[in-house]
Amino acid sequence: MNRLYRATNRLIRYSPVLQLKPRLLPSRALYSTAHTRLSDKNASVLRKIFARFLPRYQGPAIGKAVYSACSSYPDFDSFWIKECQLPETFQTWFSTTTLYVWMAMVRIRANPHAKHYNQGLVDSFFRDAEAKIRKSGIKSGRIVNDTLKDLVSSFKGTVMSLDEGLAVSDAALAAAVWRNLVPIDGAVLEVDGIVRYIRAQLKQLDTCDESRILAGQFTFDPIQKCP
């Protein structure tokens, strides 16, 4: 027995193969830690991707909610038609609604994703305009498209004019209102009231929490209440 033990020791001592230590396999804990790190890294990458593209996909829904608030403005009949003596036509509706859409756009511009949200708002506005055009009895797709092109041009011109007036002075803003909304001689008092109303509503929108703005949870005051 002792002879066998000594022989075995000599065999181990002089055999390089038998002196090798077994390679330890990674434990389940180490594998779990590495897997967690990889998962966290993947999750971080996915979050960055979603954060980049999410506003684009949110734009239509947010725009629809904001437009719903804009299109519910008061005073269309009592002020714009009766006081300003504008004709009760589709064009009058489009021009006055443009004003309220523009005021919402001005408020949303403070958001880093304003490009997508305002695009959704404008798209909702023009879908409503197209629906009203078709509801009026126009069936020709060519006529509808031509009308929408004219409305796009009118909308862009009004927005640019109001933006410039807002940035320059009340006089410049009044000129923009007169050219684009109330092009009637002698409507000085009405134009002056609209300018004061615009300033007051923009200030009110600015104090409204952004989450409520994007959810369409805001309203416009009647023009008659503006001091």
pLDDT tens-digit map of 99-120: 999 999 999 999 999 999 999 9
Using DSSP, state whether 215 is helix, strand or coil: coil
17 pLDDT above the threshold of 60: no
Tell me the pLDDT tens digit for each residue of 49-87: 555 556 677 889 999 999 999 999 989 999 999 999 999
Residue of 30 and 143 predicted with greater confidence: 143
Residue 82 tokens, joined: 């009766």
For residue 18, name the pLDDT band (cuts at 50, 70, 90): very low
Distances (CA, A) of 162 to 15, 156, 192, 195: 93, 10, 14, 10
- Range of lowest pLDDT (17-31, 49-63, 119-133): 17-31
For residue 189, name the pLDDT band (cuts at 50, 70, 90): confident
26 pLDDT above the threshold of 70: no
Instruction: Please list, residue by residue across 65-85, b when 16 or more beta carbons sit within 10 angstroms of its beta carbon and e when fewer do.
Output: bbbebbeebebeeebbbebbe
Look over the chain and give the mean of its residue pLDDT values, rounded to a whole number.
84
Closest CA to 124 of 163, 161, 76, 71: 71
User: In terms of DSSP H, where are the helices of 109-187?
Assistant: 114-135, 141-168, 170-180
Question: Can you give the pLDDT at residue 58?
Answer: 85
